Every structure is written in C-alpha cells, then in structure tokens.
Amino acid sequence: MRIEPLFSADQIQERVRELAGRLARDYADAPLTVICIAEGARRFVDDLLRQLAQRGVEPERLDVRAERTEGTTLGPVQVEHFDPEGLEGRDVLVADDIADEGATLQAVLEIVSLGEPRSMRTAVLIDKRERRRELVTIDYAAFELEAGWVIGYGMDVDGEYRELDWIGLLKDDRF
C-alpha cells in the first residue's frame, strides 16, 4: 500500500482555524450544539472546539456513534443511542470527518430534525463529492476532494493510520 500525501499537519490546522473563524462569526450569540458523528471526526471536532473556545464560543458537544463502514465496505447507516430531545430552539452543527455519499450525515440530520432545533448546519473536514448520493448540504468544509480513499488525522482503513497528523490518499487497487 502506498500513501500519497494530500494535506500537511500545518495545512490542516490552518484550515481548522479558518473554519473556526467563520463559525465564531456565524454563532457569536447563539446557543450552539456540535454533534460529532463518527470516531474519525473526533480529532477534527476536538481541534475545531479548541479554536472556537479561543474565539469565545463554547458550544455544547454531543458525540454520537453513527457509521456505515466496516473496513472499506459500506453498509446501512447505524446510529446508536441518540435522543434529539434537548435540541429544541438550539443551533446545531453536525460535524463529520468526510462527506462521501452523504448517507451518514443525512441519517443524523433526520434524527436531529426531530428535536426541532432552531437551525441545522453541517461541517466536515473533507467534502468528497465523487460518490454523493444524498442531497445533503455541506455548509462548512475545510477541504474539498473529488475522489479517493483518505487516511490520517482520525480517518482510517481497517483501524490503521488514524494517528497520522497529516492526511494522505491511499493508493491501492481496492480503492
């Protein structure tokens, strides 16, 4: 397996800072809830919340386990133990590591909407439109990518490469 570097650790941190700046302006006076929906997104959300706190915005954070991959196989979306009660009247930002087909984001947004939030938006580290099947709007994206399997900075393949500080494109016949 070969890995082609895409985004360095410095590039990632710069884009997260820029994204936090936009979010801080958009949510300066709002009770914001950030919903982190995948294990791969935790590092992105941790850094994003740290940057928001430096700008005086300290949202409530909810971690929701929502996934549809096992290794490299996509299956039905599984959302575990998520009750949207308590989101009424709040601004909600649903954050994920990557928007690919859009199915995971769409499934979580449907559940969030049941809580009747004031607003719902999405933020992703990488907006990858190659295989987009759901009409989900990506409101904030640190990076855009047309195609490929990405790893690093929390994202993995078969549990490997999450710990990388940078993001790479996996070069393998399977992808």
Q: Are strands 149-151 and 167-171 parallel, antiparallel or unpaired?
A: antiparallel
DSSP code string of 96-147: EEEESSSHHHHHHHHHHHHT--SEEEEEEEEEE-TT--S-----EEEEEESS
Cβ distance 87 to 113 under 8 Å?
A: no
CA 136 – CA 157 distance, rounded (Å): 24
Q: Is 11 helix (H, G, I), strand (E, B) or coil?
A: helix
Cβ distance 123 to 93 under 8 Å?
A: yes
Q: Choose the catalytic residue: 47, 96, 97, 100.
A: 100
Catalytic-residue membership of 173: no
CA distance from start to end of the chain: 11
Nearest to 47 by CA among 87, 11, 99, 3: 11
Active site (catalytic) residues: 100
